Chain A
């Protein structure tokens, strides 16, 4: 079986700051990490590789040359091959142009070895659109399975997969044919700790570096800024609001009195709350 995992290197959003004067987002000096949702996808692919003999895992990323670090990390966890799709022509791509480029690259990969499963993160932490995975599936005409919490079974002979998927108010159990594209849900698994051998292998492994021609881009008008209809009208930091904190005097009071004081304050602030609770309590 051949699995392709699409990953993206993203700035660690927990460390991004806003410039206090210009109010713009400061990316400089912010460490780059693999999008955490992509790691869930990679781990799931590696688990399949552990169970099914003869499985190879190829990681694919589109990004600047520094995205090499993300690929090496993926290799250290146990991926077999790594492809970096990088070209100035891809700069400024939105989700539409990105899914076009990634779909093209996967077609190139298929030329060498057919692809049975494609994994992608459910969304990225820097864009949060959750559009690229579905976009790739559509372009490659793959069955799309999003928010997967578990792969229940995979029958390679029948080319049948059964998965659990989170849906509003419950879990859907879905059976479909491979090839398909899967995005994994958080909490579904946890990334493994690489062995020393894999660390060595990852550090030395030659990466495949593809420019737009190698990635099989047919229509250059569909990539990069040119191929991106999205318009970002404004980037801004939300202003911090100051809310006056209130204190409840607890001196010489019983817990009951304190709780009552707290609740009555709450109800005063949110007049509808009382009715809502009453409704819930039936």
Chain B
């Protein structure tokens, strides 16, 4: 007779680890299956870690988690072809412990998180791919893996298998993912000596800087770029909607290569050595593209459930939070001896509605569509903003009033006054 567990978790990313850890800590018999050689080998993230979500799972994580730098400064850049305009927010408050955000390297972080899962008592098995969910009538009762004797049973299966969950699709929980609902991101890690990073970014010790970018770097596609400081390396990447890549026939790799040549970015990377190149999908369809997230004997957590806030580049924290809450749902039902029926697991959705996860998902639900329909946000506006700055700053004998007029005209020339007002309104509505 095949072995039976209280819960099986598919995937060992932040969502799966949060779920497995929480369940095992509560004393449940937990099996976690991961297809990668070890946890983290398949995963890609920028990566910024948001302390809050992890603190709720492992309060003292700072003691031994592999953290790179805590973030004290955020730069937001809008880039034209050869310039950028933007803001820097740097606060000493971010330099006070406990720190709020860190850069991490996912391969190391996931390994650490997984060691915690094992210590909590879960059985973690890697290099094993779950091929199918096993159903009895309509109820999920286990999984089938790619190994001989691969049927394993459980009261509940938590799908934490990341973006484009093939399992959920195979089981009929959602349809084929739409290319307009996923972004394709590529990133590189560039090695640089610690001292160089510190002097280039005006930081010391474990302080870190984030640069988020929009504008011409995405060549008219809906997307963003980023640059993060790690201890001894920089992470640079860019992501755009898959549908745009398809339509514009631009290769993600070429896009990143061009971005690295941008005069605002190039000096930051000078003399660095590329250590790693990765590509990964990000589910960015938002609330309206979310699949059903629970049913008889199953729940979906993390990227597999579209839980990403693309506007704020938050994903891992939603993954951890959904993982934790799914686990807490199981713990609560088990304590009351209730079966894992769809009606009982509805508690998962209900609990999530109370958290920032669902509130933010709902808040930004119009965003994906607005960005799709307004590509000029990524081309015309960056150009205009940079031109405006340039016009105002260049001292060339022209009086300021005329300069203001020129700027106004350049905006209206590119986009009708009506269009400008409309854009402002759309964005305001989306952020409201």
Chain A residues close to B by CB (< 8 Å)? 17, 19-21, 29, 31, 69, 193-197, 199-200, 203-204
Contacts and interface: CB of A to CB of B under 8 A. Distances in A.
B38 A31 contact: yes
Contacts of A197: 149
B341 interface: no
B147 A196 contact: yes
Contacts of A199: 125, 128, 147
B2 to A, nearest CB: 8
B147 A194 contact: yes
Contacts of A29: 105, 107-108
A20 B191 contact: yes
B67 to A, nearest CB: 14
Given A20-B191, A194-B147, 8 more contacts: A29-B108, A31-B37, A196-B150, A196-B151, A196-B152, A200-B3, A200-B123, A203-B123
25 contacts: A17-B191, A19-B191, A20-B191, A20-B273, A21-B193, A29-B105, A29-B107, A29-B108, A31-B37, A31-B38, A69-B38, A193-B147, A193-B148, A195-B147, A195-B149, A196-B128, A196-B145, A196-B148, A196-B149, A196-B150, A196-B152, A199-B125, A199-B128, A200-B123, A203-B123
B100 interface: no
A17 B274 CA distance: 10
Q: Size class of B's contact patch?
A: 20 to 34
A195 B148 CA distance: 5
A17 to B, nearest CB: 6
B124 interface: yes
B275 interface: yes
B219 interface: no
Contacts of B273: 20
B147 A31 contact: no
A203 B123 CA distance: 7
Contact of B125 (A17, A69, A193, A203): A203
B41 A31 contact: yes
Contacts of A21: 193
- The residue among A21, A194, A199, A204 with the most chain B CB atoms within 10 A of its own CB is A199
A213 to B, nearest CB: 28
Interface string B107-120: 11000000000000
Given A196-B145, A204-B123, A17 B150 contact: no
Contacts of B150: 196
Nearest to B150: A196
A244 B53 CA distance: 54
Interface in B21-54: 37-38, 41
Nearest to A18: B273
Contacts of B107: 29
Ranked 5 nearest A-B pairs via Cβ: A195-B148, A196-B147, A196-B149, A20-B273, A196-B150
Contacts of A195: 147-149
Nearest to B38: A31
Contacts of B37: 31
A194 B105 CA distance: 30
A199 B191 CA distance: 37
A11 to B, nearest CB: 14
Nearest to B272: A20
A196 B193 CA distance: 44
A29 B193 CA distance: 16
Interface in B250-274: 273
A199 B127 CA distance: 10
Contacts of B128: 196, 199
A262 to B, nearest CB: 31
Contacts of B145: 196
B124 A203 contact: yes
A193 B150 CA distance: 12
Nearest to B118: A203
A150 B102 CA distance: 54
A279 to B, nearest CB: 45
Nearest to B2: A196
B5 to A, nearest CB: 11
Contacts of B123: 200, 203-204
A17 B38 contact: no
A27 to B, nearest CB: 13
Nearest to A192: B148
